[in-house]
Amino acid sequence: MTDPAATPELFTWEFATDPYPAYAWLREHAPVHRTTLPSGVEAWLVTRYADAREALADPRLSKNPVHHAESPGARGKTGIPGERSADLMTHLLNIDPPDHTRLRRLVSKAFTPRRVAGFGERVQQLTDRFVDGFAARGEADLIHEFAFPLPIYAICDLLGVPAEDQDDFRDWAGMMIRHGGGPRGGVARSVKRMRAYLVELIHRKRAEPAAAGGADGGAPDDLISGLIRASDHGEHLTENEAAAMAFILLFAGFETTVNLIGNGMHTLLTHPGPRAELQASLAAGETALLETAVEELLRHDGPVELATWRYATTALTVGGQPIAAGDPVLVVLAAADRDPARFSAPDSVNLARADNPHLGYGHGIHYCLGAPLARLEARTALATLLTRLPDLRLAADPGDLRWRGGLIMRGLRTLPVAFTPEA
Ligand code: HEM
């Protein structure tokens, strides 16, 4: 039993600003720690790398909230408001095999690494468009003007949401990110509108694929059309499943990427040595350091903290700690990825780190489906900012920056920067 008096306070303002000292304490003294979350739910926090990796791949730890002892059959825990609605429950992050296997196989046929690779030019165009918006001004808020819009327009384009409707998605997503995952009025309304829109779009694309074309006004080869067409042994996604899939792609791929870009730029701006190395390598036209840098930034200060719910389907032990059937288990990726038992000098930023099997994208059958897209966006975003605005600097005291105090995502509210205006 750990001494409760010595246990650091979690979920405070200080914790939101810098949770890493608390994670170090937990790894050392209470690696599988039972705590009460701000929502009142009790859960086990798993903070050591080896335990985290094992737990993520353990089939006895289910993603399906029906296994939560406290509220059988009801609670969604991915933070998606309105998730209790049966229509949204069928997404990948809330289900286990065999349903998960079937849906993941179908979506993987449409959301291929090749599709993402072919999207590189479009991501570069979008990135340049957002930088154009502030480059002549000499100052900007990199969250609102850059990290926030880029992923939402990128995923809308990829899905095939027509250009004229994409601003609505930006507004709905803005509502979610500002007000967090709680089932509050405005957020729940935004989710409802987004879902209704996706159901309608899928219906239109199914009825008339070419007429309801993609962002370029006609191409039917967008991801939603791919989801509609995808089949496996004669099986297709139903319209509802395709809508839930499009929704989870938007939801899982949005705030995560905002924060990968935001946290990553924050780390670079506060670590001049590594930043200068990366800038020199980009100026020399190299990409190898950029690739390892994005992985290191994700390991060092990734966006996903506790959004990895699991429920024990049976009594089991994790890291030697007995866990009862029905107990929720949260794998703390941000803590595991700073474990000195796995990473040398885990608190430093080594952009060339070669041995870096971080858990930032999860592990096992729920490993992030969008990782290739997230990597593409992050690499493009960081390279473009550092190349076009070479003297980019933080325009606030690092101690004054405000972090969102969610326990699902870790990210900045604003990231004010200054630079020599582009001519
Ligand atoms: C799953 C992280 C971007 C779609 C996951 C998981 C993590 C993660 C940790 C596993 C959760 C668990 O095991 O409980 C991230 C990070 C991202 C990112 C750090 C960006 C920096 C994206 C993007 C998309 C996406 C861009 C899609 C466009 C998904 C989906 C799943 C998932 C669909 C569920 C996969 C499954 O359950 O089989 N992500 N993600 N993610 N992610 Fe991402």
What pLDDT digit, counting tens, does each position of 198-214 carry? 989 998 888 876 554 44
Query: For residue 92, which atom of ligand 1 is closest to its CA?
Result: 37
Amino acid 356: pLDDT? 98
In-domain check, residue 5: no
> Residue 203 is part of which domain span?
13-398+409-418
| Per-residue pLDDT at 185 | 63
In-domain check, residue 216: yes
Residue given tokens 């720690």 in the structure block: 33
Task: Work out the average pLDDT over 262-279.
Answer: 98
Residue 353, in any domain of the structure: yes
Cα separation, 50 vs 341, whole angstroms: 9
pLDDT of 287 strictly over 70? yes
Tokens coding 162? 């027509």
The mean pLDDT of 312-332, rounded to a whole number, is: 96
Checking if the pLDDT of 182 tops 60, the result is no
pLDDT class of 94 with cuts at 50, 70, 90: confident
- Ligand 1 centroid to 253 CA: how many Å? 6
Ligand 1 atom with the shortest distance to the CA of 56: 13
SS3 category, 31: coil
- CATH number of the domain residue 249 falls in: 1.10.630.10
Q: What is the pLDDT of residue 378?
A: 98
- Mean pLDDT for 391-399 is 94
Pair 8, 21: CB distance under 8 Å = yes
Counting beta carbons within 10 angstroms of the beta carbon of residue 244, is it exposed (0 to 12), middle (13 to 18) or buried (19 or more)? buried
Q: 88-92, 143-147, 173-177: which range is least confident on average?
A: 88-92
Instruction: Look at residue 80 in the predicted model and tell me its pLDDT.
Output: 46
Residue 3 lies in a domain: no
Q: Are 248 and 159 in contact (CB under 8 A)?
A: no
Residue 69 has pLDDT above 90, yes or no: no
Structure tokens at 191: 């989710």
Instruction: Give SS3 for 275.
Output: helix
- Residue 370 inside a domain? The answer is yes
Q: Tell me how far the alpha carbon of residue 110 lies from the centroid of ligand 1, in angstroms.
A: 16
Q: What rounded mean pLDDT belongs to the chain?
A: 88
Average pLDDT over residues 39-48: 93
The answer as to whether 250 is a domain residue is yes
Give me the pLDDT at residue 272, please.
97
Q: Is the pLDDT of residue 84 over 60?
A: no
Q: What is the DSSP-derived secondary structure letter of residue 304?
A: B
- Pocket of ligand 1, candidates 89, 153, 361, 367: which has the most ligand atoms within 8 Å of its Cβ, to mutate? 361
What percent of the chain is modeled with pLDDT above 90?
A: 64
C-alpha distance from residue 220 to each of 213, 240, 247 (Å):
5, 20, 19
Domain count for the chain, please give it.
1
Categorize the per-residue pLDDT at 91 as very low, low, confident or very high, splitting at 50, 70 and 90.
confident
Residue 232 forms beta bridges with which residues?
A: 235
pLDDT of residue 265: 98
**Cα-to-centroid distance, 307 and ligand 1 (Å):** 10
Report if residue 55 sits inside a domain: yes
Residue nearest to atom 2 of ligand 1 (CA): 361
Q: What are residue 116's phi and psi, to 5 degrees? A: -65, -45
User: Residue 389 CB: number of other CB atoms within 10 A?
Assistant: 21
Which pLDDT belongs to residue 217?
A: 47
All residues at 6 or more sequence positions from 98 whose CB lies less than 8 Å from its CB, including other chains? none
Q: What percent of the chain has pLDDT over 70?
A: 88
Q: What is the CA radius of gyration of the chain?
A: 21
Q: Is residue 403 part of a domain?
A: no
Average pLDDT over residues 146-168: 93
243 band by pLDDT with thresholds 50, 70 and 90: confident
Report which of residues 139 and 16 the model is more confident about.
Answer: 139
Work out which ligand 1 atom sits closest to the CA atom of 93: 37
Q: Which of 58-67, 136-145, 231-240, 335-344 comes out lowest in average pLDDT?
A: 231-240
The pLDDT assigned to 240 comes to 83
**pLDDT of 82 over the 50 cut:** no
Quote the CA–CA distance of 193 and 172 in Å, as a whole number.
8
Pocket of ligand 1 (CB under 6 A): 56, 92-93, 104, 155, 248-249, 252-253, 256-257, 260, 302-304, 308, 333, 360-362, 366, 368-370, 373-374
The segment with the largest mean pLDDT, out of 20-24, 92-96, 237-241, is 20-24
Q: Is the pLDDT of residue 386 over 80?
A: yes
DSSP for 34-94, please give it. EEE-TTS-EEEEE-SHHHHHHHHT-TTEES-GGG-SSSTTT---SS-TTTTSHHHHTSGGG
* Model ipTM over 0.85: yes
Q: Reply yes or no on whether the pLDDT at 75 is more than 70.
A: no
> What integer is the mean pLDDT of 226-255?
86
Average pLDDT over residues 366-393: 97
The whole-number pLDDT of residue 219 equals 44
